[in-house]
Structure 1
Amino acid sequence: MTESQTLSVDEILAVLRAVGEATRLRLIALLAESELTVKDATAILGQSQPRVSRHLKLLTEAGVILRFPEGAWVYYRLSDGPRGALARDLVQRMAGEDQVLAADKERFGALRRQKAEEAASYFARRAKTWDKERSLHAADAEVEAAILRAIGDRPFQSFLDLGTGTGRMLELLSDHYVSGLGIDASHEMLAVARANLAKNGLSRAQVRHGDICALNVPPRSFDLVAIHQVLHFMDDPQRALAEAARALRPGGRLLIVDLAPHALEFLREAHAHRRLGFSHGQMQRWLDGLELDMQAVTDLPPPSDTDTKLTVTLWLAKDRRVATDFPIADSNREVA
């Protein structure tokens, strides 16, 4: 353990004083599961917003948690350093059968399900016009050209598209992979995707219903995993990134396409956005934590004649494990 990973006696005592209160212990137990807003924490704990905010402030001042303002919302999560590690250790030592913590976890699960249902309802309403809504930012043709430049011309065996939507990424990269799989939680989206794949004769690709935060695919199975314009709909993007990393073969690549930070609050209500974009630094930290090396970052600003001010960013990362050569199979082979 390096010096930067250790704490002095005074620092340890400061952390213990910060978490040494019932509500704050409940908060770090929740934050060990996922990031939260004050609104989320208030709903789960059944306490007033000022009271919850005060406890979060004390934990932040002690360096136990981090605060990330995002438009009108603020997200909190456990810190990445030794103070956060100490808090996680305390959470792991809490009795799993504790009634208060169990009730908090149950309410947290219900809140997550509610948000997932809201997003699914939105996707169901928007399935047929989803591609059109992407015109709020840089032109699709420009984004797709940047994607093709980023992945290069070399063919690869297997491609996984998380949050496949209308299946556009499966179409775009069809000349590069031997077998393609798209995962999406919306049956309506999958119906559109299947129709599009059939129309374009893409028998080497298929789509499947599933949760991109709990993938039902073998680990280390895909040479390229893409998450295209999905993360900003999620309360916990790190979970999807972790699942994507788990699905990568050694030396495989992860392509993320999403929005840069912006201040268009109306997208929360009108388009079910949970996050107002992602910074280069935030994405770098997440990928470092998953042992993925950043290979390229590309920003695509909006057209000069638009007032939406939405920039699209492409991040390309590579698994640090040593790659193994995988033979390229017959390109006419269908996916099993």
Structure 2
Amino acid sequence: MYTRRVVVVIALAVIGGLALIAAASLIGYEIGTSRASAPETPFAIPTTTPTAMATPSPTAQPTQAPAATPSPTAQPTQAPAVTPSPTAQPAATSTPSVPAPVVQINTPASGTRVFAGQPVTIQFTAMSSVGLNRVEVSVDGAIYATFPGLSPAPSTMNGSQIWSSTISGDHTLAVRAFDTLGQISTGTSIVVTVVSAPAPPVVWFTQPTSPTGRIVVQAGSQVQLEYWATSDASLSRLELWVDGQVYATDVGSDQSHSMHITRTWSSTAVGDHTLLLRAYDTLGQSTDSQQLIIGIASPNPPTLSILYPNNGELIPPNENVG
């Protein structure tokens, strides 16, 4: 009978222990659910030792799980300020460049040789698309002449300037143009060489000829004249003078070193007339020829009649004829 009681007590103890275990598991599950971050501590399974009194082992109390430390709340990271891109500015439209003026020296050609004192004509042409303000001519780096533009400013200017020098050697002649924008043409220059002046011209008559330098013709007769002039420099003109007045002038051509002239002359003025030649070169030197004297005789010469003795009359010896 005693043994049966013991078995019953043990069975009740086992059943009670299982019930406690189930309750503890349920309580642990609820705690784990509410505190997800806390580690789950398992309950110790109680061990029952059968005793004579069949006294159940004390039930293990669940250990209080430590309070879960809350994770720090993530702070939103401040996004860096976005620097606005600069607004694209429209590209500036470039103004087409205006070409500088252009100058051309037409004459003389570079390398020209002239005599000391010989005039040289500098001829030029200047052009500009916006108009010319002025043109300057310089000699050996110094301004020699200035040609101002007109109003409105012309696009083309043609000009000439006479220059001469008595200083032998090379001389630089330059021309430059200024437009209305202040632009200056590129340097345009030539070199002219000045040499020592030659001898003056030589001039003479070849017709009519006379050993004495004098001839006589009847009034109104045509006298054929022929004469020459030569010069190392160019001849500018040749003049025929009659009785102190210019009778005829002949102009030399460019680079003319000799001149040959023929012409006729006549006069009705009875008496002697003086003819003279005068030649000029381009240096301004002049030379006179020897004089030519032309006598003009009357067309009606006087007559002479012999009254006594008569033609064929006999006169006694020693008789005076009076």
- Higher normalized helix content (fraction of residues): 1
TM-score by length of 2: 0.19
If asked which structure has higher relative contact order (CA below 8 Å, sep 6+), I would say 1
- Higher normalized strand content (fraction of residues): 2
TM-score by length of 1: 0.18
